[in-house]
Amino acid sequence: MAGTSAIEVVCVKCKKSYEADSIEHIDLSEDRDMIRNLKAGKANRVKCPKCKKVMYLDRSIVINFEPQSLIVVFDTKAKSAAKKNDLRREYENIIAFNEILTELAEETEFKVISDLSVLKKLINEYAKVYM
């Protein structure tokens, strides 16, 4: 099951504040039902309970392409090298806390992607082999 967290969202139309689940992590080997939403760019889609306005949360999603040993952070805001480096440093800080994670990271490729078409290509290639 996809890793989620509850966040507060403010509707851009009616300004109502409400709680919604934000997807933070997806393991493609376990969350195959999420593939269609990822490819469509709709993985973090929310709907205002008051006015029914549909919005897309502007948040990063970590995607584990298991068993390919590939971890991708999909973030539409990570277009600059500086932002991509920030996300890489954050990843490195997380894995540095645990010896097992450090060893796994040595065998795992890490990418930051901001372009949905690039993510779609990776998912399509994954699906051809593992689905």
Distance CA 109, CA 117 (A): 19
Q: Which domain holds residue 105?
A: 3-130
Total domain count, the chain: 1
Return the H-helix or E-strand segment holding 84.
helix 81-95
Task: Answer yes or no: pTM beyond 0.75.
Answer: yes
pLDDT class of 130 with cuts at 50, 70, 90: confident
pLDDT tens track for 5-44: 999 999 999 999 999 999 999 999 998 888 998 998 889 9
